[in-house]
Each structure stands twice: as structure tokens, then as C-alpha cells.
A and B are shown apart, each in its own frame.
Chain A
Amino acid sequence: MRNKIMILTLILALAAAAVAGCATATKPGGKYLRYSAGTEPETIDPRKSTGSPEAIIEAQIFEGLTVLNAKDAPAAAVAEKWDVSPDGLTYTFILRTNAKWSNGDPVTAHDFEYAWKSTLAPSFGAKYAYQLYYLRNGEKYNKGQAEAVSVGVKALDDRTLRVTLEKPTPYFLTLTAFHTYYPVHSKTAAANDKWASDPKTLIGNGPFKVTGWVHNSKIEFAKNEHYWDAAKVKMAKMEFVLTDSATTELNMFENNQIDLGGNVPASDIPRLLKEGKLRFEPLLATYFFSFNVTKPPFDNVKVRKAFALAIDRGAIVQNVTRGGQKPALAWVPPGLADAAPGTDFRKAGGDFFADNDVAAAKRLLAEAGYPDGKGLPPVTLIYNTSEGHKAIAESVQEMWRKNLGVNVQLANQEWKVFINARAKGDYQVARHGWTGDYLDPMTFLDMFVSDSGTNDSQYKNPAFDDLIKRAKETNDQGLRMRLMHEAEKIFMDEAVIAPVYYYTNAVLVKPNVKGYVRSITGLYFFKEAYVE
């Protein structure tokens, strides 16, 4: 009786101590990279993943037929050479003899065939199956309208892979560097559908292999000694930290727990920049406002244009986002090659309007029948709940009030509610952002064809559709680019969207981190990275 209290307290304290004692010891930081990968990956089976954190992890432990080099051009990887048929429909890849899985097995053409076909299998339920719709009958097979055997990928022998496409796809060699096109160790994947969630069964063919994975905490890597180009891999190990909080990431960076990370609180950017801890890296993405062209007043192109012209993008990137972003005066961001070598699609296409062109905006709104905003129906701008989007929305709201005399309402919505409303066209103006999936302007332009599932603006224009269709059917790069420039011009003249800025990544990086390659798609390749 008398000591029951003490016993109770003691039991609790002992329980806590016992649990605390179970914790594992950590290793001191040596000379290896500790990178903050953002959130816990949904999966690291390259056939099933969709997001950027997953793609970055997979890029270290897998390798496709090709890989993106420092200039974001496709280079030989598992395939040492390839032939393309004159009509651009058939690719014959020859695999290297020394390409091996992390368990020592050779990487064969059959592994590629198995991986691609299993991704397309309807019962597999891969979200990115449509990334393989380029293959002949890929889409039909995924929809259950064709047999697996008819899909345009075939291992002629262990070293020869023949790929047949639906249409000529001049950027196909950049697609084969994309994670949906990675091979998987077919024996393992066929035998165990959870192979990718356990380091013991997670067999890859990239420069590193996974040795440990504490969910929501960290992933540990070691050099893959069986990798064909292992001589170039400098680090014996690395560690990816998994946290989705920018503040936590910054704390860990300043506490020397990580060396590299790309999730920075906007309020700290000026200070970090001054201290030389930050670098801005371009990203193939555009931040924009999407108009619903079927809802008044935005069914009137002059109103859309007026709203687009009355935004002061320079002020937004300088005072609000402060992350080194570039004001966007077009749709397709810079960084994509045009027809001639060394030219840029954006540079060739130029800008479509002047930033903060208040005079023209006022004139257009008056021409539309709403001088100084008088008589304009009420307008609401929706954005998904986030401090960053809120600050931008409030700035734009103020610009429209000051420049056009229009009082726009703001409404924030929870992420999935917002996505749902936007996709259904249940809005007037909505915040939007788009990151390119592959290195071609088409990844932006075909988003707005009439029957596209991502056409949240509900925009329908046969002339635009026709240009995109023709661009998709030709193998002539010069003609393709010309058609895409024309399509972009129509799209911008119709002011379907109001572009705001081209994204950047604000990257926290220690000065002694060297040798990594970063792609404009946001991918990192740590194959040759090292910490001095």
C-alpha cells in the first residue's frame, strides 16, 4: 500500500529507460555525403514511383539504358550503343557485357523487357504506366485491349533489346534515362512483390546500393562494387536523411548533420545567401495562374490578358519568393534544346509580353467592357494551403486591385480538395505549377490539348491541338520545334494562363561537397560526388 505510488512511478520510469536503451548507436560523420532527400519515399521500385524524392534515390541505385550527363543530354549507360531506324520508330540497344546487378548477376535485355511490360500490366496498377505509352501497343496493353506479347519491347538475346515506338519520338533517348524505363532484377521482382522495400532484396544496378532504411528517418547507401563503372565512384557510402520540414532541414544543416539539401525556409534565404551557404539551381518548372476559360469573366480573352499583364513578376521574385526565380513571360521554361545544337527553345521563342504592362492591361480590360474594373463579376482565386502560395496570391491580389481596380477574393483549400476542384474546373483562377517530366518542350505543351487529363483550364482549340498532333508525328526536329513554337504562340496569345516565374531550387550546400551532377529536372547523380 504505502509504496504503491513509488512503484507506479518507478515502473513508468523503468519502462521509459528500457525503451530508451533499445535505441541504436549512430556512426560519427566521416567523409561521405549526407543529403536531405525530403520526404519518405512512397516506394523505390522504379516501376511504381512517381515523385521527385523517389527518383533521386532511384538514380543512385539504378541505371537505365541511357543516363543524363552534366549537360542534360542522354549518354550511354547500361546500353553501350544503339541504332535508330530511319523512320525513327525502331531502336536497337546493345547492352554492355560488364553491366551487373548489385548481387553480381549480369544485367540483361530480358530484365528491361520484364520491367517495362510489368509496369504496363493492368493488374500491376503503376501510376506512371503512361510514361511507357510511347511503346507500340503500350497504351492498348495497359487498357486491357492488347496482349503483352504485342508491346514494342523485345529482348532478342541477353545483350540486344529492340524497342518499337508508336510514333517517332526524337527525345526517346532522354526517356530511357527516366526511372520508369529502368530495368529491375526480373528473378527477384517476379518472386517477391515487396522486394523493393527491404534492403536485403533490393537489388539495383546503379553506382550505389541500399544497405539500411529506417522509414521516415534515413536511408544508408554503400558503393556497389559490381557496378560497371565502379572505378569512378568515389564515396564508399552515403546517407539520405528523410524529413519534410524545411526548418528541421536547415537546423540539421547548421548543426552539421547534413551537407546538402533542397528544402529551405524562404525567410532564411537572404541570410543564408549572405553567409554563402546557398546556391540557386534552375528547375524545369513554371509557376503560373490557370484561368478557367469557360467561367466568366475569364471566358473573355481580353480579361485574361489584362489580368496576366497586370502582374509585376519582378516584384514577386524579388520581394516575395526571394529564391532566385526568373520572371516568366512565356510558358515553356528555359533549359530545353531547340533544333539547332546549343540553342535554347525559350531563347528562340522569346517572351510573349512585357512584365507589369499596366497601361496595356487597363486598355484591354476597358475594351472587354469593364473600364477600371467596373461591372466585372466577382472573381475568386484559389490556392492550396501554404505560406508561400498565400504570400504570392496576396501580392497578385494587391496588384490587380491597384492596377485594374478589381477586388479579387482569395480562398485557400487543403491540397487534395484543391487538386480535385481544379481538375473539375470548379474555379475561376487557380494557382498552378508544372514540372517537366522529360527534356522536351512537349512535356509542357501537350498538357493543354483538348482531351488532356491535365488541362485544368478547360481550354479547347482545334488549331492548337492540330499543331501538337503534327509535332508528335514527325521525326524532323526542325519541323517539330517550329510547330511547337507556333502552338506556344497561340496558347500565349489566348492567355490561357498567366505565367509568374520559372522555378529554381534553393540548395543548401557545404563548400566541401564536390563532383555531383544535377539535372534541370531536379535529379541528382552522386556517382562521382565526394566530400573533401
Chain B
Amino acid sequence: MLQYTVSRFVSMLLVLFIITTATFLLMHAIPGGPFTAEKNLPEAVLKNLNERYHLNDPLFKQYTDYLANVARGDLGPSFKYEARTVNDIIAESFPVSAELGLTAVAIALACGIPMGAMAALRQNRWPDYLCMFAATIGISVPGFILATLFIYVFALKLELFPAAMWGGPEYVVLPALALAAFPMAFIARLTRSSMLEVLGLDFIRTARAKGLTSFVVVWRHALKNALIPVVTYLGPLIAAILTGSFVIESIFAIPGLGRHFVTSIYNRDYTVILGITIFYSTLLVILNFLVDIAYAWLDPRIKLGGGKGE
């Protein structure tokens, strides 16, 4: 386990280094810089600005200076937002994205798993059709369409929730629902197919033969085993939701990190682009690692580092 963790950590650092280098080079390769604006700045002013942010240094020096700062945990100043550092921006906006994202994940799990289990237990009957119809809608209708629909119905027509902004719990409901629709549908379908597979296995027949109540059979034996694929999906899901909530954040004017990620590229805010890329990459690598650990914990037959035990 320790050996596994260490080797994962080393490969994680390597991955981050490659991502940082590639992003740095790509970023400087695209035309336009942080100070390109509709009203071209006089050369003297541009020179002073470039001096101030060390953009006049050779690219290699900029790169090594940047890496040295990152190693100290300093992601640098934002070029666009005066007097704000990338660390500030991430510290302010990531908790918002996390709150929104984890709420959406909780909704997706709390609704998706029972839906899938119900559909499997009532296969080819109306609850199954109903759940799978809902799941098909959730998978095929994009989140931003749902968001617009929710705003129209629940905010503008029924006036139950605010149409946008961020504040108390009432502000979380609509964006979290819009964000949760796809994973909820996906989890429902995943649970259903995996549950159907498990219900046909020998040990379930054994359990029934032992005279266990169907409640115990389903909840204690079948569902637990059926959820392994769902747990596997959790890692990529949380990562995707935390890093991919940009559109929803934009529609609801939520001050999350997703918006910064997209606008920083548009603004050529070099340090913000790099900082968020590094932050997101770290998050993804760590989440994948945690999923592997959880996976092994759930299914004792799985050994980390390859191979299967008896």
C-alpha cells in the first residue's frame, strides 16, 4: 500500500510537470497577450507594464521563475485583476464551485441510486419505464437547457427561487438541480443494469434459499455489490462536476472557479490559466487515486498495484 502510494505520488508530480509545461508553451504561442486591448496602449506604457510583470524576460527565465514560485506555493499575480493573486482567486471561488458541485453530486446519488434499484426490481413494468424515461431525458437534454427551463418555471413564473446570484441555500437549488440531471440519470442507468446483473448471480439465489427476507437480500447483498460501478464513476463524476460547471455558473451568475478558467484564457491572464490548470489537474489526479483506494476497500478481491487475490 505504501509503495503503491509513493509510486502514485511520483507519477502524479510527473503528470503535473508535463501539464504545466505544455500549458505554459501553448499559452505563449497563441496571439495576443494580457495587455492586448481595443485601445492599443502607447509603447512606453506597454513597456512599463511588461517590466512590471517580467514579461520582458526571456521565455525560459519566465518559465523557471514561475516553477520556482509554484514550488513555494505562490501561483503569482493575476494580470487582469489588479492586486489579486491567483491564490486569492482560487481560494475565493473554489469553495463556491465545490458547494454547488457537491450538492449536485449528493442530489444525483440520493435520487439516482433508488431510481436505478427500483427500475431493476420492477423490470419491464411501469416503474422501470418511468425511471428510464426520466433518465433518458436527463442524459439527452443538456444542462443549460434545463437551467433555462428551471429559471423560466421556478423563478420567473412561480417566483419560488431567485433567477441568479449566490447567497443563501435558496440560491443553490436550481443550479444544483440543473447540474445534477445528467449524473443522476447516468447513475440510475448504471445502478439498474448492474443490479440486474447481480440479481441473477448465484449468491443471491443462495441468500434467498437461506430464507432471508427479500428486503435484506436486495439492500444488503444485491445493492452493495451493484454499486461498485457507481463508486468507480464517482471519481470522474466529481472531477467533471467540479471542473465543468462553467456554463451553469455563467447562467446563474455564480462566482465559481469554472468561469475564471474560461475567461482567463479569453483574457490571456497567463498566471490564472496556469494556476487553475495546475489546481484542476492536482484535483483530478488525487480524486482518481481516492477512487482506486475506495474501490479496493469495497471489493476485497481487488488488489492495488494489479493482480487479484483469492
Q: What is A's interface to B at a CB cutoff of 8 Å?
A: 2, 4-5, 8-9, 12-13, 15-17, 19-26, 40, 42-43, 45, 48-50, 122-127, 129-130, 139, 142-143, 193-194, 196-197, 214-218, 241-245, 247-248, 251-252, 254-255, 257, 414-417, 419-421, 423, 433, 437, 453-454
A124-B172 contact in complex given A9-B109, A23-B99, A257-B165, C-beta closer than 8 Å? no
Separation in Å of the A441 CB from the closest CB of chain B?
Answer: 17
> Which of B129-137, B154-162, B202-210, B274-282 interfaces with chain A?
B154-162
**Given A196-B82, A257-B163: A16 touches B102 (CB 8 Å cut-off):** yes
Judging by beta carbons under 8 Å apart, are B52 and A251 in contact? no
Nearest CB in chain A: distance from B97 CB, A: 10
Across the interface, A43 reaches (CB within 8 A) one of B83, B99, B234, namely: B83
Known: A15-B102, A123-B52. A252 touches B109 (CB 8 A): no
B24 within 8 A of A: no
- Would you call B142 an interface residue if the criterion is a C-beta within 8 Å of the partner chain's C-beta atoms? no
Q: Which residues of A contact B84 (CB under 8 A)?
A: 197, 215
CB-contact partner of B95 in A19, A415, A420, under 8 A: A19
- Once the chains are docked, how many angstroms separate the CA of A50 from the CA of B102? 38
Q: Give B2-42 interface residues, CB cut-off 8 Å to A.
A: 30-33, 35-42
When the two chains form the complex, which single residue of A16, A123, A454 contacts B106, counting CB atoms closer than 8 Å?
A16
Q: Which residue of A lies closest to B99 (CB)?
A: A19
A245 to B49, CA, bound (A): 30
Query: Which residues of chain A are near B36, meaning CB under 8 Å?
Result: 416, 419-420, 423
Check if A255 sits within 8 Å of B82, measured CB to CB.
no
Q: Give the shortest distance, in Å, between A87 (CB) and chain B (any CB).
A: 26
B165 close to A252 (CB less than 8 A)? yes
Listed A/B pairs (19) with beta-carbon separation below 8 Å = A12-B105, A15-B102, A16-B105, A19-B98, A19-B103, A26-B167, A42-B82, A45-B82, A49-B82, A125-B51, A142-B48, A217-B165, A251-B156, A257-B163, A414-B266, A415-B32, A420-B36, A421-B31, A453-B42
Question: In the bound complex, do residue B227 and residue A124 qualify as a contact, i.e. CB atoms below 8 Å apart?
Answer: no
| Bound complex: CA A125 to CA B48 (Å) | 5
A5 to chain B: closest residue by CB: B227
Q: For the complex, is B220 an interface residue (Cβ under 8 Å from A)?
A: yes
9-residue interface stretch from B57-65, B68-76, B118-126, B245-253: B245-253
Shortest C-beta distance, A408 to chain B (Å), equals: 23
- The answer to whether B43 has its CB under 8 Å from any CB of chain A is yes
Q: Are A5 and B165 neighbours in the complex by a CB distance under 8 Å?
A: no
A4-B298, A42-B82, A251-B164 known; 7 new pairs, CB 8 Å cut-off, are A13-B106, A23-B169, A124-B48, A125-B45, A130-B42, A139-B44, A251-B151
Residue of A nearest to B39 (CB): A454
CB distance from B187 to the nearest CB of A (A): 11
A16, A218, A245, A255: the one within 8 Å of B162 (CB):
A255
Q: Give the CA-CA distance A217 to B167 in the complex, in Å.
A: 9
Q: A127 with B165: in contact, given A19-B102, A197-B82, A453-B41 (CB under 8 Å)?
A: no
Q: Once the chains bind, are A40 and B81 in contact (CB under 8 Å)?
A: yes
Contact code string B94-119 (vs A, CB < 8 Å = 1, else 0): 01001100110110011001000000
B189 interface residue (CB < 8 Å to A)? no
- Residues of A contacting B98 in the complex (Cβ-Cβ under 8 angstroms): 19
The CA-CA distance from A2 to B222 in the complex, in Å, is 11
List the B side residues contacting A122 at CB < 8 Å.
Answer: 44, 48, 51
- Whole-angstrom distance between the Cβ of A286 and the nearest chain B Cβ: 13
B171 at interface by CB-CB < 8 Å: yes
Alpha-carbon distance between A40 and B45 when the two chains are bound, in angstroms: 24
* Chain B residues in 8 Å Cβ range of A193: 83
Q: Which of B106, B164, B260, B298 contacts A257 (CB 8 A)?
A: B164
The 8 closest A-B pairs by CB, nearest first: A416-B32, A43-B82, A216-B255, A125-B52, A243-B253, A16-B102, A255-B163, A26-B167
User: Are A26 and B168 in contact (CB-based, < 8 A)?
Assistant: yes
Inter-chain CA distance A123–B255, complex, in Å, is 32
Nearest to A15 among chain B residues (CB) is B102
A137 to chain B, nearest CB (A): 13
Question: Which A residues touch B105, using CB under 8 A?
Answer: 12, 16
The answer to whether A248 and B164 touch across the interface, beta carbons within 8 angstroms, is yes
Please determine whether A248 and B168 come into contact, CB atoms closer than 8 angstroms: no
Name the distance in Å between B121's Cβ and chain A's nearest Cβ.
Answer: 17
B268 touching A416, Cβ below 8 Å: yes
Complex-state Cα separation, A214 to B95, whole angstroms: 13
Q: Are A252 and B45 in contact, CB atoms less than 8 angstroms apart?
A: no
Contact of B231 among A8, A50, A421 (CB under 8 A): A8
Chain A: minimal CB distance from B186 (Å): 16
Q: Check if B294 is an interface residue, CB within 8 A of chain A.
A: yes
Tell me the residues in window 165-189 of chain B with beta carbons closer than 8 Å to chain A beta carbons: 165-169, 171-172
Q: How far is the CA of A519 from the CA of B184 in the complex (A)?
A: 50
Q: Which residues of A contact B81 (CB under 8 A)?
A: 40, 42-43
Closest-by-CB residue of B relative to A250 is B163
- With a cutoff of 8 Å between Cβ atoms, the chain B residues found around residue A124 in the complex are 48, 52
Q: Report the Cα distance A255→B36, complex, angstroms.
A: 37
Chain A residue, CB-CB nearest to B103:
A16
